[in-house]
Amino acid sequence: MPGERPEPSLEFVQLLTSHQSRLYAYVLSLLGDRNQAEDVMQETNAVLWRSAHKFELGTNFGAWMLKVAYFQVMAHRRRLTRDRLVFDDDFLQDIAKDAEQQCEWQEERQQLLGDCIRKLNERYQELIRRRYTEGATLKSIASQSGRSENSIKQALFRARAALIECVKRQGPEEAA
């Protein structure tokens, strides 16, 4: 039918779902109220979904998402100003810039951590994956591997220490 928008691609859906915590943190930092943040987040997701056909895969989804969220926060604030006192737009814009920088920094740190995990030996990678990605307990990992819980705990400690060192070595100056 003419005027009908195509369904969002699988890649778009994956990007949208993988950025939900980042979106929520950003909106919450601008509004400071969980209920309002959840409402604006839903509105933002609806706009993103309707605008999926406008997004070019391969470009910066996070930046596009945060810009849409910013405009949704502003629209929400305009609706609120009829009811009560709120911060002025310049103040909110400053907070939005800071929140965007924090989101970018967090994304860079996550990429650094992913790089460092890939540098671990296979045994440590497997422990990290089972414990933190799958949510396995120390007891279940020990039982399945035929090792004691204490040895699993020690191995995880060493793996985390190696990750901390790796991230520190790569540091924020390389992440920028």
Let me know if residue 114 belongs to a domain. no
Domain boundary among 108, 137, 153: 108
Let me know if residue 115 belongs to a domain. no
- Together in a domain, 91 and 37: yes
pLDDT tens digit sequence for 152-175: 999 999 999 999 899 888 865 443
Number of structural domains, the chain? 2
The mean-pLDDT minimum among 79-83, 107-111, 123-127, 152-156 falls in 79-83
- Together in a domain, 37 and 124: no
pLDDT tens digit sequence for 1-14: 555 677 878 888 88
Q: Which candidate, 86, 108, 83, places its Cα nearest to that of 30?
A: 86
- Together in a domain, 56 and 128: no
The structure tokens listed for 127 are: 């422990």
Residue 26 has pLDDT above 60, yes or no: yes
- Together in a domain, 85 and 131: no
Let me know if residue 146 belongs to a domain. yes
Q: Which candidate, 60, 55, 39, 41, places its Cα nearest to that of 5?
A: 55
Domain boundary among 79, 108, 137: 108
Taken as a whole, the chain contains a residue count of 176
Domain boundary among 108, 136, 161: 108
The DSSP symbol for 55 reads P
- Together in a domain, 101 and 154: no
- Together in a domain, 82 and 145: no
Q: What is the pLDDT of residue 110?
A: 83
- Together in a domain, 88 and 36: yes
- Together in a domain, 126 and 146: yes
Contacts of 15 (CB under 8 A, 6+ apart): 61
Domain range enclosing 69: 1-108
* CATH number of 62's domain: 1.10.1740.10
Region 43-57: mean pLDDT is: 90
- Together in a domain, 99 and 147: no
pLDDT tens digit sequence for 53-106: 888 888 888 889 999 999 999 889 888 776 555 566 777 788 888 888 887 888
Please tell me the pTM assigned to this model. Answer: 0.50
